[in-house]
Amino acid sequence: MNNEQKYLNNIEKRFEGKIKDLLINHVKLFYSNDIVINKNKYSIGEYVKLKKGTFIHGIFGGLQNFDFTLKNGFIAVDFTDETRSNKICNSVGMWNIKEDMLLKDYINEYSGFTISYSIGRGPESRIESKLIPYHKFDEVTEKINNDYDVWMYWGDQTKEVRFIPSLVSDKRQIAFILNMDSDYAKKLAYDDVWNTEFDEETLTPFLDYRYVEKFINQDRVNRDASTTDRESAIMFGLPAKLIEGVFVGRKIENDKESLEYIKSKLPDCYICNLDGIVIL
C-alpha cells in the first residue's frame, strides 16, 4: 500500500461528511504527480526576497528529520504517528508571510519579543499587543510609555524563536521556504484552519474540543501579534515539491558537511543564512 492510499484509508476511518470529502480531495491534490513548480533562483551572495503568501516551516532535530520531511512532505503528526496535536490538530503549522519583504528583515523582526500592555485603568482600559524586533526592546517600550497611559506590560519571545532558526536561539537549525505562487499551491493553502470562510462544523475536527469556542469567536477573528496574526495551519499538509529554499542557523552555517548534504538532497534549491544571504 502506498502512502496516498494509507492516508486515504485513515481519513475514511476517522472522518465523515464534508470534512472527509475535503481531506480526500486535499490528499489527492497533495500527491498529484503532474505538477511543475517554478521556483525563485538566486546566486551566492544575493539577498532572499519573500513574496506575500510565502510559507516558512521549521523542523526540530537535525538532518534525520530533514530527510523525513523531504521523503514524506509536511504532514500532520496526527496522520504520521497517531499523536494528537494540541489546540489545532490534523494540520501543519506554517508561517505565512503577510507582505513582500527581505528574509533578513523577517528574521530580524521575528527574532524579537511580543509585548502586551494595558492602556488606562478600570472599565475603560484596553489591552494591545505589539511585536518588538531584535534588540529594539528599550526603544519600543519607551515610545509606548510616552504615547499612552500604560499601567503595565508583559511579554514573551515570539513563537518564531521556538520553531525556526533565529538570532537569539540555536534550538532550531533548519527551516524550509515554500513557494506558494502557483495555482496548485494556492488550492492547497486554501484548506487553512485559520481561513475565516470555513464554518464551525468544518473546523471542529481540527481543534481541541476545549479550544473550539475561543478559536471560532475570538482568536481567528481578533488576531494580533500575540495570537498570532501570521500563522496558517494547513489541513493534512503540503508536499515537499513546494520547497524552494532552506535557511539555516549559525551551527549548520559553519558545518560544511551538513551544508553539502542539504544541497545534495535539494540541488535545485538555495541555502541561506540568518543574514538572509544565499550561501550555497
At residue 140 the predicted structure's pLDDT band, cuts being 50, 70 and 90, is confident
Lowest-confidence segment of 177-181, 205-209, 236-240 by average pLDDT: 205-209
**pTM given for the model:** 0.92
Q: What is the pLDDT of residues 54-68, one digit of tens each?
A: 999 999 888 889 999
What is the C-alpha end-to-end distance of the chain, expressed in Å?
Answer: 37
Given this model, what pLDDT does residue 83 score?
Answer: 63
pLDDT tens string 70-119: 999 999 999 987 666 678 999 999 999 999 999 999 999 999 989 888 99
Strand residues in 5-158 grouped as ranges (E): 49-50, 55-59, 74-75, 91-96, 101-102, 113-119, 126-132, 150-157
Task: Output the nine-digit C-alpha cell for 13.
Answer: 476511518
